[in-house]
Amino acid sequence: MLAHIDYPVRRWPGGPELFDPTVFEEHYRHVLGVLRDAGKVLEVNTRVPLHPLILRWWHDEGGEAISFASDAHRPELVAHGFADAVTLAEATGFRAGRDPLDFWGRA
C-alpha cells in the first residue's frame, strides 16, 4: 500500500488550495504505475483531501484498489472526511467490496 501520496501538499506554499497536481503529472503517473505493477493499493487519506486528478490518474493507470484513512491522531477525527472521500472514489470509478473491511475496487 502507498500511503500519504498527498504528503507534500500538506506543506505547500499558500496551502493545499494552490497545489496544482498537473505540474507533477508525469511524476505522479510514474509512481502510480510502479504501485500498480507491484499489485499495491493506493490510500486515500482524508487529512488533506486527495486531489481528484490523482485518484483519476490511479484509475487511468489501471490501479485496482484503494483504501481510506483519516490519519486521525485524536479520537474525534477518526473517519473525518470519509463521506467526501467516498463520493470522490465513486465518481472516479471505485466501489465498495462485499465485505465492509475490503479495499474498494474498480467498478
| pLDDT tens, per residue, the chain with 107 residues | 777 888 888 888 888 888 899 999 999 999 999 999 999 999 998 887 889 999 999 999 999 999 999 888 888 888 899 999 999 999 999 999 999 789 999 98
Question: What are the residues whose beta carbons fall under 8 Å from the beta carbon of 45, sequence distance 6 or more?
Answer: 3, 4, 5, 6, 68, 69, 70, 71
DSSP H helix total and E strand total for the chain: 4, 4
pLDDT of 16 reads 81
Domain boundaries along the sequence of the chain: 7-106
Distance (Å, whole) CA 49 – CA 75: 19
pLDDT of 20 reads 93
Question: How much is the pTM?
Answer: 0.89
CATH annotation of 7-106: 3.20.20.140
